[in-house]
Amino acid sequence: MDKRRKIRVLVVDDSLLFREMLVKILSSDPQIEVVAVAADPFEARDKIIEVLPDVLTCDVEMPKMNGIEFVRWLLPQHFFPVVMVSSVDKTVFEAMSAGAVDFVVKPGTQSSKAVMEFAEDLVQKIKTAAGAKPTLQKHEESFANVSGNIAQDTDRIVAIGASTGGTEAIYSILRYLPPTIPGIVIVQHIPPVFSKMFAERMDNQTELCVKEAETGDFVDQGTVLIAPGDRHMRIKKIGWRYQVECFRGEKVNGHCPSVDVLFDSVAKEAGSSAIGIQLTGMGYDGAKGLLAIRRKGGRTIGQDEASSIVYGMPRVAFDMGGVEIQEALKNIPQVLFNLLGR
């Protein structure tokens, strides 16, 4: 998209008051222009044809057709980056699975602080979505069967970092991994509460034991620990096992949890026994940490540009020299198997 012109946004929400609030928030940013509003998906369909927006914001709960159904109908025909606007509800992950780029959480109160934080989050995600690419693929069709033997080294550990588009990318990897896989630690940039919902979803949909991490948890074989949405996570080696610590702290690279905080600890504690994976996302969080893992003798993988919804974090890591192997998302499970078999 031409960076010199404004990002054209279509706002879809059944609440007149909330539509007006969204329009006011977005119009206050000089890089964004609200070109149309719609009260339901059917009105939105006509507006899309009329104004050809760059990005849509879409409420999850709407009359006639909910936001998830709308995304499922829209994206296979025309790719428009969609940012879902949701209350605290796990159905938002269905929208991500359907192809939405990202989501923002409606403010729980009308306090000025809550509304300001919501506004900042919304504007940032609209700008990120404007640069997103279509990567819609059927998981069953696009991912090859994964095969190979995993060497049972007791001190191996896998660390994954992701942001925009990461929830589906992570699922695309975890779903192919067996319970014999070494322990996995993950930082996904995601709001608090949703991190636990995401972990529960992965636990139900994969063969692995997935949970939101708590201080004291061990990263054992077949276990996946996902950092809480408002806390950094790092590991510490205790004997031959790894244990996590989750703690509050200032944002690092604009994020808490930060991928760099996790990767730095993995480089320090696991060294050559680590495998770091940098997935889709905006910004540069994780790039320095991935390089640290590689410099300590660990193996590193970066998602390639073609399969990334946003090729930001993987690009910076690659340009910095932190990526040893760059691969399409669909090939990363097999690459991981190959590395673990050596």
| Domain CATH for 269 | 3.40.50.180
Are residues 214 and 112 part of one domain? Answer: no
Are residues 190 and 80 part of one domain? Answer: no
Are residues 251 and 108 part of one domain? Answer: no
pLDDT the model gives residue 135: 64
Residue 2 lies in a domain: no
Are residues 207 and 111 part of one domain? Answer: no
Are residues 90 and 219 part of one domain? Answer: no
Range of the domain at 162: 139-340
Residue 26 lies in a domain: yes
The length of the chain is 342
Q: Cite the active site residues.
A: 163, 189, 285
Q: How many domains does the chain have?
A: 2
Residue 36 lies in a domain: yes
Are residues 313 and 250 part of one domain? Answer: yes
Longest dimension (CA), the chain: 63
Are residues 305 and 251 part of one domain? Answer: yes
Measured CA to CA, the distance from residue 141 to residue 226 in angstroms comes to 27
Indicate the residue among 73, 97, 129 that finishes a domain: 129
Residue with tokens 């410099």: 295
Strand pairing partners for 69? none
Residue 267 lies in a domain: yes
Residue 227 lies in a domain: yes
Residue with tokens 């993987």: 314
> What does the pLDDT profile of the chain (342 residues) look like in tens digits?
556 689 999 999 999 999 999 999 999 999 999 999 999 999 999 999 999 999 999 998 887 788 889 998 888 877 889 999 988 778 889 999 989 999 999 887 777 888 899 999 999 999 999 999 876 544 444 455 676 677 676 789 999 999 999 999 999 999 999 999 999 999 999 998 899 999 999 999 999 999 999 999 999 999 999 999 999 999 999 999 999 999 999 999 999 999 999 999 999 999 999 999 999 999 999 999 999 999 999 999 999 999 999 999 999 999 999 999 999 999 999 999 999 986
Measured CA to CA, the distance from residue 79 to residue 136 in angstroms comes to 9
Cis link prior to 257 (omega < 30° from 0)?
A: yes
Are residues 151 and 249 part of one domain? Answer: yes
The first and second tokens of residue 244, run together, are 């996590």
Are residues 219 and 170 part of one domain? Answer: yes
Are residues 323 and 235 part of one domain? Answer: yes
